[in-house]
Amino acid sequence: RGTTEAMIDWPNVTESSYEELGLKPEELQRSKCVLGFIPVIYYSVLLCVGVPVNILTAVALCRLASRTKKALYYYLLAVTGSDILSQLFIIFVGFLLETAVFHRDVPTVLLHVVSAAEFAANHASIWSTVPLTVDRYVALCHPLIHRQISYPARARKIIAAVLLLSLASGVPFFWWSDVWRDSHPPTALDAVLIWTHVTIIYFLPCTIFLVLNSLIIHTLRLRQRQQPCQEERGPPRRLGKTTAMLLALTSVFSVLWAPRTVVVIYHLYVSSVHQDWQVHLAYDLSNMLAMLNTAVNFFLYCFVSRPFRSTVRDIVLLKGGPLHPHGALPQQQAPTNASISSLYSGNKRSQRDSTPLSPRRNRKPS
């Protein structure tokens, strides 16, 4: 999720390069990194915590997906897998290895290849959330259509398409400039790449999240006003948890990535990271916030989902956990509420997995 290049104050311009460019050293003075080795410690801790919890999340989601055959789990699994790729390429390879260990003393072509891979992983991590949001919107606002079009095979195809497009979208960023070390002002190519980057990773997905989440909230409020006062309270609570989870995922992303988006645009038009230590500091901190987004989903799932917590507990305690009988598989064509609340239902597992919902709930989705 965004390239995290060098944040330690290693020299980036030699004396001979000053002379060759005909510029004075003070004209190419690199901004100081006031954080020192704090980013190295931060990213090391984030990697040591984030990768294990994301792997645990992936295993739990795989187990839940195999049991319930719900498309929802496949989308969540794609988000988790993309987060792991972001942590490996951006934090481990891009920052800790290239910068903190090798001080970027590696072939230039390799630096650009890694940069393209970082952006591809970043785009996949963010855009994997978009099909999840669309799926939840269709489930809540168009339940009959959702029953027809949402199933694991289609979800896997959509995920594969998102990953391929993300990989292709990372190719142009082979030419991304190193904002910490490039002394020249941003070029026209830099401007194109920066605007393409912030559009792909922030403006476009946030617009989709805002529109669909607003429609979901509007639909739920409209249905609540239309429900009779004596209606049972179970389904609304479950739908509330589903909506809360979706809003939490998209809101956390929007908040954590907003500072980096602002700083990148500020670097382009006002003052560069290379020359202004304050912009340098803001860029470092914004990257640290953005990367935090790769490690928080596990805690959100645990906070909201009882089935997820139970599955994680079984994995930690090395319990296999019973798989669903084949007779329960037709529930993937079950009523809308079963699909909507598969992750967030607070009902007992036996009721959720083997007992179809009543026709009364089919007619009145929350």
Domain parsing of the chain, residue ranges: 37-224+240-317
pTM: 0.75
CA distance 238 to 243: 9
Provide the CB-side half-sphere exposure for 58 (13 A, CA): 15
Average pLDDT over residues 36-57: 92
DSSP H helical ranges for the chain = 15-21, 38-68, 71-86, 108-127, 129-141, 143-149, 152-169, 188-198, 204-226, 234-269, 277-292, 297-304, 306-316, 336-340, 349-354, 359-363
Phi, psi (rounded to 5 degrees) for 351? -70, -40
Report CA Rg, the chain: 23
Least confident of 86-90, 212-216, 301-305: 301-305
pLDDT value for 240: 61
Higher pLDDT: 84 or 280? It is 84
Average pLDDT over residues 191-217: 95
Higher pLDDT: 10 or 244? It is 244
Contact 50, 294 (CB under 8 A): yes
pLDDT value for 178: 74
Kindly tell me if the per-residue pLDDT of 142 is higher than 60: yes
Q: How confident is the model at residue 315 (pLDDT cuts 50, 70, 90)?
A: very high
CA angle (246 as vertex; 240, 249 as ends), nearest 5: 135
Q: How confident is the model at residue 330 (pLDDT cuts 50, 70, 90)?
A: very low
Conformation bin of residue 11: beta by default, left when phi > 0, alpha when psi is -120 to 50: beta
pLDDT value for 16: 43
User: Among 59, 177, 167, which Cα is nearest to 119's?
Assistant: 167
Q: How confident is the model at residue 17 (pLDDT cuts 50, 70, 90)?
A: very low
The three-state secondary structure class of 237 is: helix
Class of domain 37-224+240-317: mainly alpha
pLDDT value for 119: 95
Average pLDDT over residues 140-168: 93
DSSP secondary structure letters along 63-118 = HHHHHH--HHHHHHHHHHHHHHHHIIIIIIIIIIIIIIITTT-S-HHHHHHHHHHH
366: enclosing H helix or E strand? none
Q: How confident is the model at residue 33 (pLDDT cuts 50, 70, 90)?
A: low
Kindly tell me if the per-residue pLDDT of 179 is higher than 50: yes
Higher pLDDT: 19 or 73? It is 73
CA distance 341 to 68: 12
DSSP 8-class letter at 201: I
Tell me what the pLDDT averaged over the chain comes to: 78
Please state, in angstroms and as integers, the Cα–Cα distance from residue 46 to each residue in 4, 42, 290, 291, following that order: 13, 6, 12, 8
Count of beta carbons in the 10 Å neighbourhood of residue 195: 14
Name the residue type at position 188.
A
Share of the chain above pLDDT 90, in %: 47
Surface-to-core class of residue 277, CB atoms within 10 Å of its CB (0-12 exposed, 13-18 middle, 19+ buried): middle
Average pLDDT over residues 252-278: 88
Kindly tell me if the per-residue pLDDT of 90 is higher than 80: yes
Kindly tell me if the per-residue pLDDT of 341 is higher than 70: no
Phi, psi (rounded to 5 degrees) for 7? -125, 5
